[in-house]
Chains A and B, each alone.
Chain A
Amino acid sequence: MAGGLDSFDWLKDRIKRPKVLVDLSGVAELRGIRTTDGGIEIGALTTLTEIVKHPVIREHYGLLAEAAELIASPQIRNQGTIGGNVSQDTRCWYYRSGWPCYRAGGNICYADTPTGRNREHAILHAERCVAVNPSDSAPALIALDAKFVIQTSKGERIVDAEDYFIGPDIDITRLHILKPGDLLTAIRIPSTWAGARFYFEKVRDRNVWDFPLMNVASAMHVSGDTIEGIRLAVNGAAARPLRLKAVEDAVRGKTATPATGEMAGKLAVQGAVPLQFNAYKIPLMRNLVKRAIGGVEEAKWTS
């Protein structure tokens, strides 16, 4: 347990009953933000508030500051850590209420039944389970090409941000690759995308506190109007934050215009399968991707 904001929920509802609970919050080595030769390193126990306020992150990696600033409430950002944010579990309420679903070891997905309430659930890559990853920082870290440093019993392991997250096809009981005993110690962000053109947008039901229905993060190197390089990720669409590689490939070399965005948006939602109550997520994702690439068109007023 780090800040405990995800964990307390499980403990209080008596759904998880661990024999031992290790509070990491006192481990000073896991805290803090360091600038390194190739970028920055953020200790896993660094709070979201520290990230939002950090001058180097604000100046060079504003995408992450923006994403972190939109998480929950000031109190939660004061307590919640970046490591906990990327390692948090899904918010599917059937699962969180302790229903014996696939993810909990059972053999049904309650959200994916004719009467299931699934407005917040997945439109892509669902396999048995239709839950989504709720993290706001995750897509920003993927767009920034962050590396996650993991301490395992066998030694240190470094993975790309997008490979930290897994879907139900790989393991239906977890959203990330950590095995029992593994510790996420730090997140490294290379300077490759420092100061790039960033876009982050989060859509939620209320403008504060709420988890995302969906979010998008992009980092682009643009010269003139041409997209020379891009990394793009969305979350809230599937059980893991999705890096949209096909879209990245399709827009590289094109102009960063609404027309390119339009094309990218359509490509992004290819293969999307809506559930009963979440069809709105398809146009939502299309438009978020469009805006991330082509920018936000000013509303045009006539009269």
Chain B
Amino acid sequence: MRRSNGVLFMKNIDLRLRVNGQAKEWSIAPGDLLLDVLRREGYFGVKRGCEKGECGACTVLVNGKAINSCLMFAAQAEGSDVLTIEGLAQGDVLHPLQEAFLDLGAVQCGFCTGGMILSAKALLDRNPDPTVEEVREVMAGNYCRCTGYEKPVEAVLAAAVVARAFVPAASTVVSTFGASPHNSQAGHHSANPRSAPKSKKTDDKKRSSVLLGGQR
């Protein structure tokens, strides 16, 4: 059927998927974009930017792969595992990527940040020790109009060091930091992310800019 403006509309269908590890069942229109459905369901960290696949602000991970949720029907996510930026922190404990972005001031207006961090996460998940070029390459799909990419790239590399140090064995922490070209920054992280105190370097301004970016 068509509405008066010519848009097709059909009966709603049920969508079953996992978002940030939680099983969800939503009623959606067949033509709903994944972006629209996620935002409707309160995942405002998924940003609506260009809606044309150009800016990457709407990036989410679907089964571990970074995709633009503005160019995917929600119905196509049936049965898949979706990760949005909201799913990264564990309670009050931020993901090493999030910590690094804050510590290094890699967030300015914050609009691109969620997508950028997710692109970076997809990279670190498959390659825990990426080169600068690999980081640049993977962030190429996320437009940032503020930072000039220097800080975000540094932050991803710093987070990689931290993530590598924590995942396998705590005993490697010191040596990994020592070997890092970013040891001065990475050193701001405490040895255990679960008990990590908020970094001293993180000032209020940076926190609120994340909120601005994160909520609407």
Contacts and interface: CB of A to CB of B under 8 A. Distances in A.
Contacts of A79: 67-68, 71-72
Given A75-B59, A209-B141, A4 B73 contact: yes
Interface string A171-212: 000000000000000000000000000000000000011000
A73 B72 contact: no
Contacts of B137: 74
Contacts, number: 62
B66 A78 contact: yes
A74 B138 contact: yes
A75 B66 contact: yes
Identify the interface centre among B6, B53, B119: most chain A CB within 10 Å of its CB. Answer: B53
Interface residues of B, number: 26
Interface stretch (A7-15, A31-39, A100-108, A117-125): A7-15
Interface in A66-86: 72-76, 78-79
B54 interface: yes
B182 to A, nearest CB: 23
B71 A14 contact: no
A23 interface: yes
Contacts of A17: 6, 8
A14 B4 CA distance: 13
Interface residues of A, number: 21
A13 to B, nearest CB: 9
A73 B56 contact: yes
Contacts of B138: 74
A76 B68 CA distance: 7
A79 B73 CA distance: 12
B68 A75 contact: yes
A12 B8 CA distance: 12
B65 interface: yes
A57 B3 CA distance: 47
B6 A14 contact: yes
A39 to B, nearest CB: 27
A166 to B, nearest CB: 26
Interface string B55-99: 010010000011110111101100000000000000000000000
5 contacts: A23-B73, A49-B65, A75-B56, A75-B67, A76-B53
Interface of A: 3-5, 8-9, 12, 14, 17, 19, 23, 25, 49, 72-76, 78-79, 208-209
